[in-house]
Amino acid sequence: MSFLISSQAATNTSQDDSFIASSIVYRDLTAETPDDIHRHFHEPMHFISWTEALARVILRALANAIMYGAEMARAAREALARTKEAVYGFATEHPVYLMLFAMLLAMGVLANSAPWILNLLGFGKLGRIKGSFAAVWQSLYHGYVPNGALLGSMQRLGMAWSL
């Protein structure tokens, strides 16, 4: 199967990354041998450069192909099997690293969710939201929130990370 990216497609910036990514992923998934994949990456390609956006589109396309069980030729099936075996082997041999990775992943999710969670609790862009958990919590201080109190810290974060 030939892999040609026309100069017309290379200049079409709205579809360029998607076209290139789908061509690369298709070639990888249909390659019968690792040598076919290797040759594919050494053929001249008519696109400007590798970009972060292109890498993300390729990664997303590969992840979707794996997740939805796309049909794969021998080289891709074998590479996927070896990768799964290596990941499961590493996780079995090094459970502490796996836990650390899971904790880092959870912290990343939490950091991305923090603005939403703070707003949900009532720590808004302009202060505590009337009738919210944050407002009730503040009322427990009877108008005086001590310097360094957790309530004040959460309010600062809520104002800084507003939605």
Structure confidence at residue 34 (pLDDT): 82
Write down the pLDDT at residue 142.
87
- DSSP, collapsed to helix, strand or coil, labels residue 127 as strand
Residue 42: predicted pLDDT: 66
Task: Give the per-residue pLDDT at 14.
Answer: 43
Q: Distance between CA 130 and CA 117 in Å, rounded?
A: 16
Report residue 124: phi and psi, to 5°: -95, 180
Alpha-carbon span 64 to 94, nearest angstrom: 28
pLDDT, averaged per 10 consecutive residues of the chain (163 residues), comes to 36 62 85 81 61 83 87 88 90 89 84 86 91 92 87 90 73
The overall pTM is greater than 0.85: no
- The angle subtended at Cα 76 by Cα 71 and Cα 80, nearest 5°, is 100
pLDDT (0 to 100) of residue 25? 86
Structure tokens at 116: 């939403």
The backbone torsions φ and ψ at residue 2, rounded to the nearest 5 degrees and listed phi first, read -85, 155
pLDDT of residue 70: 87
Six token digits for residue 154: 């959460």
The domains of the chain are located at: 7-76, 112-160
Cα–Cα distance measured from residue 154 to residue 150, given in angstroms and rounded to the nearest whole number: 6
- Predicted confidence at residue 9, as pLDDT, reads 41
Euclidean distance between CA atoms 100 and 50, whole angstroms: 31
What local confidence, expressed as pLDDT, does residue 6 receive?
A: 36
